[in-house]
Structure 1
Amino acid sequence: MTVETSVATPYVPAAAGPAGPPAPTAATAGPIGREADLLALDGRLHDPGIRLITLIGPAGVGKSRLAEHAARAARGAFRAVATPDLGSTDDPAASAERIARAARALRGTSDAGPGRHAGTTGQDAGSTGTDEPAGRRLLVLDGCDHDGRPDPAALAALLDAEPGLTVLATALRPLGLYGEQLVPVGPLAVPGDEVGDSPDELLRVPSVALFVRRAAQARPGFALTEENATAVADLCRLLEGLPLAVELAAGRLRLFQPQELLDQLRRAGVSSLAGGPAYAPARHRSLAALAQWHCAGLDPSELALLERLAVHVGGFAASAVERPDAAAFESLLDHGVVTVAGPRFVVPEPVRSNCLALLDGSVRDQHAERYQQLVAAAAPRLAGTEQAHWLGVLAAEGPNIEAALDRFQERGAHQAAAATAVACLESWLARGLLREGLDRYDRLAATTGLPEQLTAQLTDASGTLALALGDPADAAERHRQAQAAGRRAGDRRLVALATARLGSAQLAAGDLPAARAALESALAAQESMGAAGQAARTATALARTLRAQGQLRPAVAALERALTGARRTRDGRGLAQALHLAAAVATDRGDHAEADRHLRECLALHRTNGERTELPTALESFALLTLAAAPTQQPRVVRLIAAATRLRQCLGTAPDTPTGTALDEALGGLRARLGWTGFTVAHAEGLRLDPAEAVLEALSAPEAGRPAKEAEDKDQQQLTPRQLQVAMLVSEGLTNRQIAERLGLSEWTAVNHVRQVMRRLGCTSRVQVAWSLGRRP
């Protein structure tokens, strides 16, 4: 494996004695993105009380490179360093003999003076003075896996017999000795939601920085540009930040453009990457070889379970593992072929890609049927007290549900695919999967052999997505077709639902009389059938129509019915729609305080449900209300409008004409009042906010009608636990980078937290943050 030096802030090891180690150079600086790991290792290596340190992590993650740099950086703490070659033999006895021989060679250097190197493949240990503990030596055991794994009893005996010996090992899993200090090594960070597509922002992400460095070596003149930035970011995400995979992919740019390479890997699988250096171990020359080596030592039952788990896309929950497989699953975790990712588990690339190539159809069929059952179980719970929970479950399992739908269609099970897709409508709306869902519905509706009633449900669902995408005429036509098919099938519920949705489409198209007639008819039918949740949403649409006709008293009455019905059925998405309209009605009356309360509750519901489709409209309404009620919040207004704009770009939607005109006028005035610099900075900050952060940005604004001093005091009390943690570190004088390292965040995430803290506390400098915390009770 080649050695990569970081272009980031140089790593400075902790002092070793009065003189300390020499300052790092370009040759000794740590690998890209490993500054925190090197700091952790350096502290352990300088501690004489720690005798065994093991870097653990998946194959290809860069453990060997990290151990090499850590040993070099800490050379002042040791009189000698030995690195026996464990990777060139498949004989455990030979590996044990090499370890023993290296230990004897190190023992021979104890009295020979500092700076001796024990005849191995490592670097000269060196020394910075005579104040080091006499006889401290470092044994680097790289690749303690499979046949190269040392016998625990022999290694324990060696450490007992050599008091001055420290062992630094790399392995897929712990060696299992008492007192072993584990240092997990994970993949490099990949671009997240908080990072835009700007080349400057992406280059701060370690996986992207490594890719660009290697790509420039393989293809001189390569640079990250606006044109290729998105493809490079997607490549790093696809490769999950695994350094070896990133390097192999970057080397392929000799033949392909980034987008071409991305398309190829999506078709052929990540394990198709090859082309590592000829001098590298065989497992580092291709990802297929790496995956096979990683899985060596698993028994047949463990391999079979791994293949079943590898079919999952985007990870899986613990419930995917059956009780009889618990022991095998624990073994997979120990081997590192399954890793923990928050509350979920994943089979990391390239192991997953390699397993997929070996799967038969029955495994995919079982996976598809499992997620069909999950969606069917969730569907009736998406409009009640458990709505937020099940929306979260379906969002987490979204990639697996898509894979199940693809499998059903691939094997011709179109009826199962159609029923599952219809049940996904509420989830797809909440997640903003508008274009993807519409395309899926259209493909399924075009298949032959489906029952007419199921085709009608597909058509009706597609009309809802067409309306969300801003095409009311197309939506109305789809709902009419569904309405007619429902009548032929004698399905009263489908007819009432399609009629209500037709009325919403007609309202959006400006045909108010037709919309009112359709909505009143649908509302009466739904109430007679006891469909309370659907009736509440229909009442909201009717109230919106009546308001547009100037019928304010009937509109308020219908809105009250909608609010009451949505609260009674605990339909969070329906309640948010009604609250948004209630805020508009309050604004009509000039009651900014009431409008503010309704919009805050609406935004909080959107945040709870992970809402995407309706969130931009709510953010825009809140921004315009804030501009009217609190003119001092102009930068916040710009940020909220920018966040809504970015989200609309992702959704492929646009505000309605009146709202769009109001936003354009507001932005024009804000640009003039804030000046070019102030407006541009606020707008750029807003574009970087993800949906959850945008909601927090809105909710942290002073409440309309509240005195300024009271607003300031309340805002200071509303710091989240994470923001309070960041504020305390700011008050201690830590930089953004240091805060990120302390809390295990990306630097850009730390920057966003600091900005949020300063805005909530009303501070313009870090010194003011410290003062503000100091005067807290």
Structure 2
Amino acid sequence: MDSESADPSPAELTSYVGRRQESADLLRRLSTCRMVTVTGPGGVGKTRLATRIMREKAGHQVFVGLAELDDPGLLPNLVAARLGLGDAGGRPVMDTVLDNLRDSETLLVLDNCEHLVDRCAEFVTRVLVECPGVTVLATSRQNLGVPGEQAFPLAPLPLPPDAADLSDDALTSYDGVRLFVERATSAWPDFALTPANSADVVRLCKQLDGLPLAIELAAARVRSLSPGQIADRLIGGLALLDTGSRGAPKRQSTLRAAIDWSYDLCSPAERALWARASVFVGSFDLEAAEHVCVGGADPAIEPDTVLGLVDGLVDKSVLVRADRDGGGRYRLLETLRQYGQERLDAVGDRHRTQRRHRDWFARRIESAGQAWTSPAQVDWTKRLRGDQANLRAALEWSVREPGEAAAAVWMVVDATEYWTVCGYNIEARTWLDRAMAAMPADHPDRPRALTGSALFALLHSDPARALDRLAEADRLAAALPTGPARETATAHVAHVRSLAGLMTFDPATPELAATAAAAFRAQVDVRRELHPLFVLAIATAYSTPDVADARAVLDRMTKLTEACEEFYYRSMCNHAIAFVEVEFGDVDLAAKAAHEALVCTEPLHNQVGAAYVTENLAWIADRQGDHVRAATLFGVAARLWHANGATAEVAVPLPHRRHLRSTVAALGQARFDRAFAAGRAKSEAQGRAYALNVDTVPAADEDNPLSPREVEIAGLVANGMTNRAISLKLFIAPRTVDTHVRNILTKLDFNNRAQIASWFTARRP
């Protein structure tokens, strides 16, 4: 948890109006109370107030938006993801979260709790009891009922009693009027509050009861209607519509009326797109909308019309543009999403649209799997991370919908490496187990689900569960008819059995790994061959006295990964080289390979891989006799293991214990502890720079706007290396280096490489 906000709160795309007193009161509450829940109806501005508090309050903060979550059981997983934690290490995710928060001073914001009230209450209670430095700020339409909770009811924005005898400045001192004026001006720059329209503006804001969302929806219409016309249309029946419960509070009916009115002002095609887009969870891109929202009836939507319809809904403030990684994405505010789902249900189109949603994301995962061992790996990982909420929704629909569980199996196993990179091994295994519970016992895809579940169990240090799954998979695979399906199932079982054997010191491991690698090689499936090669190399090194056999295996793996130009398996390959060489061969070769392995973890932000490699670098330093560095690297690695819910004692027990004992013996316990603590205290960027032996400059000051990777490349430029040489050293594509160098020049406002070299040299420690 290095940054001030491990998970950034939603960006404020528009100005923040009002709520000064509420902000001050809420900050005071949070200074004396550890649990505050901001309550109020949908559209009153609870989320905006919470995100404003995060911007005004100092210290470490984590924002967890719960609107994207339908399964209460995944609440700890989502919080862990926002904390940057994985779920490896054989521990419940909740325990990993609590362990991470236990000694921290953190403001934890849980936004939109109303549909998960019971689970949120259980979660918050444990956090408050076990993590004394954590303060929780929740937003919900109802209290959580947690001991010590203070409710903070949020009222609508204040409005003037009337417009008579008030100047324009006096009127805009009322936050409700000021919000309308600012949003109306944004929608139509020629709009201004005048004596001629001020009474209508006040009348309209009163009709909307000062609800911010309703006011913003109305203000978006000033391009085509005057404030008086907007107010008249609301009076014309919409403000009195009772489309919800007759016992609902008046302001909730008013909000519904404002949304009804915005809906009625949309074209039939825009209404249909709004309703169909409500199946997306979180944000989505245009390409997804062009698949999921098309077709149907009354009206049918054609793919080439979707962009125009999206633009129309953005103009009407129905869709919010939420760009990420330079790509355009869109989302519905949660209140508008719920409204869209009601409309989708009303026309009976939810099942068809949700199936299209599931099919689209299943296809996206399949495409990512097909391109995984290629230069597109990084882009696909970013895209899937951006779609994680939608992937969960698609999986949830698949395991609940009769006859669709097999699709969930393939959505998980086609993205095995992705789940692992993100640290979602428990979640992936859970989806597979739920899918198997929903499919017939003799389903032909069951063996693949079982081996996938076993693999994720092993990655989570649970070999007992894995062996149970493998026994059933073996039996079912043997019962399949002779042919490609049986051969593939058998190869997968052999692969996962070999990994289990590596963890349990089974002497049959080399034979199992060789069998799996040969089977996938015969199928020309390079992606599936690579991990068995990794297992085979390490198992061979431990089982034979001659390191040449292991090197031969790694030579093939090296050639395959270099040809693929990807990072995941190239990092794994170099890690294996370092592992074998530091234990049985050339320590200098081990050091070079480990450096390259760590560099390859960065593009995917592969923190699990970084933990393994940093641990490996500690062994190398021990063997080189640099014991202070070894102890420091053990500390850096311990922080990474902890962040991923794992320990070296479980992940790599034999070499870890051997080199740890050697380092402690060389330094003595006191010196070791000091160096270890110094390493563990380093931030992610500092630890990485130390492990890579990179000369760094202060990471956060006005004179250094560069990322850690840009600092590293600036240092290599200062050493006189060309972009081509840098690409070869760092194992990244030349075009990637070109991009980094251009970014460095732009950020530092330089014109040439000599200026970069001078800048870096002047700041070299």
With structure 1 as the length reference, what TM-score do the two structures score?
0.56
C-alpha separation in 1, matches of 2:690 and 2:503: 32
Counterpart mapping for 1:315-330 below 5 A: 315-322=283-290, 323-330=304-311
The amino acid of 2:62's aligned partner reads P
Q: Is the 8 A contact 1:199 1:225 kept in 2?
A: no
Hey, what's the Cα distance between the residues in 2 that align with 1:653 and 1:305?
Answer: 53
Aligned partners of 1:725 and 1:440: how far apart in 2?
A: 41
2:577 is aligned with 1:577 = no
Q: Where does structure 1 lack aligned partners over 5 or more consecutive residues?
A: 1-32, 38-54, 71-144, 146-169, 171-184, 209-221, 237-245, 262-272, 704-713, 728-769
Deviates more, 1:489-498 or 1:356-365: 356-365
Contact 2:495 2:513 in 1 (8 A): yes
1:272-296 residue CA offsets vs partner (Å, 9 max, x unmatched): x987479884526878865764775
| Residue type at the aligned position of 2:657 | T
Q: Superposed, which structure 2 residues align to 1:611-650 within 5 Å?
A: 611-626=606-621, 629=624, 630-631=626-627, 633=629, 636-637=632-633, 639-649=635-645
* CA apart distance, 1:194: 6.6
Could you tell me how far apart the structure 2 residues matched to 1:640 and 1:681 are? Answer: 8
Provide the rounded CA distance (Å) in 2 between the counterparts of 1:224 and 1:533. Answer: 41
1:56 deviation in Å? 7.3
Displacement of 1:416 after TM fit?
Answer: 2.7
Which of these residues, 680, 684, 689, is aligned with residue 683 of structure 1?
680
Q: 1:702 to 1:463 in 2, by over 3 A?
A: closer
Greater RCO structure (CA 8 Å; 6+ sep): 2
Q: How far apart are 1:632 and its partner, in Å? A: 5.2
CA distance in 2 between partners of 1:673 and 1:504 (Å):
37
Contact 1:636 1:682 in 2 (8 A): yes
Question: Aligned in 2, Cα 1:446/1:389: closer, same or farther, shift over 3 Å?
Answer: same
Cα separation, 2, equivalents of 1:573 and 1:381: 12
- Counterpart residue identity of residue 643, structure 1: R
Answer whether contact 2:638 2:647 (CA < 8 A) is retained: no
Following the alignment from structure 1 to structure 2, what is the Cα–Cα distance between the partners of residues 627 and 287? 66
Match of 1:457 in 2: 448
Shift of 1:504: 2.1
Which residue of 285, 292, 297 corresponds with 2:262? 297
**Cα distance in 1, alignment partners of residues 627 and 560 from structure 2:** 36
Q: CA separation of 1:585/1:307 partners in 2, compared to 1, >3 Å: closer, same or farther?
A: same
- Alpha-carbon distance between aligned partners in 2 of 1:652 and 1:315, rounded to the nearest angstrom: 37
1:379/1:424 contact within 8 Å kept:
yes
The amino acid across from 2:282 in the alignment is G
Written as runs of structure 1 = structure 2, the 5 A alignment for 1:544-559 is 544-551=538-545, 552-559=547-554
Q: Which residue of structure 2 aligns with residue 502 of structure 1? A: 497
Match status 1:339 vs 2:321: yes
Of 62, 67, 74, the residue aligned with 1:191 is: 62
**What's 2:217 paired with?**
none
Partner residue of 2:563 out of 563, 568, 573: 568
Give CA deviations for 1:519-554 in whole Å, capped at 9, x if unaligned.
Answer: 233333333333334334322222211111133222
Aligned counterpart, 1:672: 670
Write the mapping of 1:105-116 to structure 2, written as runs, cut at 5 A.
none
Map 1:193-342 to 2 at 5 A: 197=101, 201-203=105-107, 225=128, 227=130, 246=139, 252=143, 255-257=145-147, 276=155, 281=209, 283=211, 293=258, 296-298=261-263, 299=266, 300-322=268-290, 323-337=304-318, 338-342=320-324
- Paired residue type of 2:561: A
Structure 1 segment 282-681 matched on structure 2, within 5 A:
283=211, 293=258, 296-298=261-263, 299=266, 300-322=268-290, 323-337=304-318, 338-342=320-324, 343=327, 344-356=329-341, 358-360=343-345, 361-362=350-351, 363-412=353-402, 413-449=404-440, 452-489=443-480, 490=482, 491-512=486-507, 514-551=508-545, 552-570=547-565, 572-588=567-583, 591-626=586-621, 629=624, 630-631=626-627, 633=629, 636-637=632-633, 639-649=635-645, 654-662=650-658, 665=661, 672-673=670-671, 680=677
Q: 1:724 is matched with which residue: 704, 709, 717? A: 704
- How much has 1:464 moved relative to structure 2? 0.9
CA distance in 2 between counterparts of 1:683 and 1:521 reads: 41
Q: Is the 8 A contact 2:211 2:255 kept in 1?
A: yes
User: What is the deviation of 1:260?
Assistant: 13
- Rounded to whole Å, the distance in 2 between the matches of 1:258 and 1:684 is 33
CA contact 1:438–1:465 (8 Å) conserved in 2: yes
Q: Is the 8 A contact 1:483 1:495 kept in 2?
A: yes
1:312, distance to aligned residue in structure 2 (A): 1.8
Q: Contact conserved, 1:202 with 1:229, CA < 8 A, in 2?
A: no
How far apart in 1 are the matches of 2:696 and 2:608? 31
**Paired position in structure 2 for 1:741:** none
In structure 2, the CA distance between the partners of 1:442 and 1:532, relative to structure 1 (3 Å rule), is same
- 1:620/1:644 contact within 8 Å kept: no
Do the aligned partners of 2:578 and 2:593 also contact (CA within 8 Å) in 1?
yes
SS at 2:333 equivalent: coil
C-alpha contact 2:395 2:431 (8 A) present in aligned 1: no
Contact kept in structure 1, 2:540 and 2:549, CA below 8 Å: yes
| TM-score of the two chains, using structure 2 as the length reference | 0.57
C-alpha distance in 2 between matches for 1:339 and 1:479: 46
Q: Which amino acid aligns with 1:683?
A: R
1:406 Cα deviation after fit: 0.9
| Distance change in 2, residues 1:725/1:62 (3 Å) | closer
Residues 97-134 of structure 1 show CA distances to partners (whole Å, capped at 9, x for unaligned) of xxxxxxxxxxxxxxxxxxxxxxxxxxxxxxxxxxxxxx
- 1:307, distance to aligned residue in structure 2 (A): 3.2
How far is 1:402 from its partner? 1.4
1:670 touches 1:679 (CA, 8 Å); kept in 2? Answer: no
Query: Residue 186 and residue 385 in structure 1: after superposition, are their counterparts in 2 closer, same or farther (change >3 A)?
Result: same
Identity level (%): 18
SS of residue in 2 equivalent to 1:562: helix
Indicate if the aligned counterparts of 1:472 and 1:506 stay in contact, CA closer than 8 A. Answer: no
Alpha-carbon distance change, 370 to 716 in structure 1, aligned in 2, over 3 angstroms: closer
Q: Shift in Å at residue 679 of structure 1?
A: 5.7
Question: Contact 1:579–1:601 at 8 Å: present in 2 too?
Answer: yes
Larger radius of gyration: 1
Distance of 2:460 and 2:575 partners within structure 1: 19
* Aligned CA-pair RMSD: 4.7
Q: Is the 8 A contact 1:433 1:651 kept in 2?
A: no
The C-alpha deviation readout for 1:309-328, integer Å capped at 9, x for no partner, is 33222311232333413233
For 1:394 and 1:683, how far apart are their aligned partners in 2?
31
Q: CA deviation at 1:191?
A: 1.0
Residues 257 and 355 of structure 1: CA distance in aligned 2, closer, same or farther (over 3 Å)? farther
Within-5 A mapping of 1:24-43: none
Paired amino acid for 1:724: N
Give the structure 2 partner of residue 48 of structure 1.
Answer: none
Deviation at 1:674, TM superposition (A): 6.7
Determine helix, strand or coil for the equivalent of 1:715: coil
